[in-house]
Structure 1
């Protein structure tokens, strides 16, 4: 084999390697959520999906409930933990974040969590709501068990500080810009829920 032929073989192998690496890099650089027409999957720990998670407890009304959020990068989950107290007319803890990508047309929301047996509330917000209002739906977790909870838009009602709001705008999932979670209903004591993912399907 001449040196020219050996050079051509090495060049072809280098080109193939470059193509394979480029293809792999293009895959891992894609957003984690699906961009298909059928669904969009968001991970609560992904900073490209959600902004910083903020805490809003009953302390704004004089209560003493406590909560915090933390990220478990190895298991790709968001931990929402704390303790609810009924002292000083309190009794709730919540967290909320802004969704960084617009949702396509969807008719089903599927939430994946691992809980502690308590009932939680998922809270959705859109620009059409007044300040403090939210579309809310409750779901009950199972102790140390990953569960899926599916909702349609009809499963949500509009609430403001725990009270139902009449004549509120109809919920459309594609209008959602904020997502939050709340624990209340006089469930005093420690709580812990792992937030894994949320998916919107047609």
Structure 2
């Protein structure tokens, strides 16, 4: 299977389809934003607050369905801040649950490789009693931070590929 670009950021990228979803949907006070950095990278940054049962910020990107196989994986070129982030996918953006995995960041540019079949179904932080990802398509990806602590965060994203 040939590699497909899900998103390749540059200074001219149109990021209006990237949407922030913070814990304010549950009354929380966390703040997240998504913008283009001066170098043309996707910049997801903000501050996590545990007030009012909050504690997460996320950025979501929906796209036309991309076909995947049981061996498909996602490669993300990014630079984090040493904190853990979740990467989530949905095969159907109207599903209430996502398939998720958590990855650490080092503070340096790095390539993160995520096998879709290793991603497990979760809803509101709880693992569901269902099989890991085994669908034929994905149409939404999400980056989320929610480490159960008050913290600032900054994640630079250069490119996201489906292999």
| Fold agreement, TM-score > 0.5 | yes
Give, in whole Å, the separation in 2 of the partners of 1:123 and 1:170. 11
Aligned residue among 156, 161, 179 for 2:124? 161
Tell me what 1:197 maps to. 159
Q: CA deviation at 1:130?
A: 6.0
Q: Which residue of 186, 192, 198 maps to 2:148?
A: 186
Post-superposition CA distance 1:162-182 (Å, at most 9, x none): 01111257433x510011110
Is contact 1:109-1:152 (8 Å) kept?
A: yes
2:97 alignment partner, one of 133, 143, 162 = 133
In 2, distance between residues paired with 1:169 and 1:189?
A: 30
Matched, 1:149 2:149: no
C-alpha distance in 2 between matches for 1:69 and 1:58: 15
Report SS of the residue matched to 2:66. Answer: coil
* 1:29 counterpart residue number: none
Q: Give the 3-state SS of the residue equivalent to 2:64 in structure 1.
A: coil
Match of 2:54 among 84, 87, 90: 90
- Residues 1:153 and 1:179: Cα distance change in structure 2 (over 3 Å): same
Aligned length: 159
Greater share of helix: 1
SS in 2 for 1:60: helix
Report the aligned-residue RMSD.
2.2
For 1:67 and 1:51, locate their aligned partners in 2 and report how far apart those are by CA, in whole Å: 15
**In the alignment, is the contact (CA less than 8 A) between 1:99 and 1:178 conserved in 2?**
yes
Q: Which has the larger radius of gyration?
A: 1
- TM-score of the pair, normalised by structure 1: 0.71
Unaligned runs of 5+ in 1: 1-36
In the other structure, the counterpart of 1:24 is none
Provide the residue aligned with 1:57 in structure 2.
22
More strand by share: 2
Distance change in 2, residues 1:148/1:139 (3 Å): same
CA distance in 2, matches of 1:70, 1:169: 32
Give deviations 1:26-59, integer Å, cap 9, x for gaps: xxxxxxxxxxx42112325444xx7611111111
Deviations 1:74-97 (A, max 9, x none): 633110000001111111001101
Q: CA deviation at 1:107?
A: 2.0
- Say which SS state the counterpart of residue 139 (structure 1) adopts: strand
* Greater RCO, CA 8 A, separation 6+: 2
